[in-house]
Every structure is written in structure tokens, then in C-alpha cells.
Homo-oligomer: A and B are copies of this chain.
Amino acid sequence: MDAKKAEKIAKALSDPNRLMILKEFKKNKDCLYCCNLGDTISLAQPSISHHMKLLIDSELITSDKEGRNVKYALNNKMLDEYINFIKALKI
């Protein structure tokens, strides 16, 4: 992973609402629909949509259109790659 990608992921991970969204995946068997986030995240719908977009752009999650909904899933592979990047910073 190059520094530019790591920077993008770090940015995605640097917001309390996005961290909360990522944690929600654990409670929902790895998949998630935006419309169910309203209860957990107290933000307007466009704001949640904005955060999802940043998470998708960073590839920390994937999105899959399912009829009227969009199904989001955590991308464990990208988390692993980012972990390796940070490990490489260590002395």
C-alpha cells in the first residue's frame, strides 16, 4: 500500500461517526443498510450518505445495490493491508 492510499484510509478512519458506522458492521453480521443507521448515528440522511461515500472511496467497505436498498459490507482485506502499512512504520 502506498502512502497516498494510507492517507486516504487514515482520513476515512479519522471521524467519530465513520468509526461508529464501521463498528456497526459487527452487530449486523458484516452487512448493513444505510436506512438502519439512522437509529445509531444522529445525523441527517445526506450526512450519512456522505460518510458512506468516503468509506466506499477508501475501499474500507463495499456497496451492492439490492433493489431499493444498498447493501454495505466491511472489506476486511483493506483493513489488513492498512494494518500492514502501520506495522511497516514500526522500528
Q: A interface vs B, CB < 8 Å?
A: 3-4, 6-7, 10-11, 13-16, 19-20, 22-23, 25-26, 30, 74, 76, 79-80, 82-83, 86-87, 89-91
Contact = CB atoms under 8 A, between A and B. Distances in A.
A87 B91 contact: no
A10 B13 contact: yes
Contacts of A25: 89, 91
Contacts of A10: 10-11, 13-14
11 contacts: A3-B19, A7-B13, A7-B15, A13-B86, A30-B91, A76-B91, A79-B86, A79-B87, A80-B90, A82-B86, A83-B86
A16 B4 contact: yes
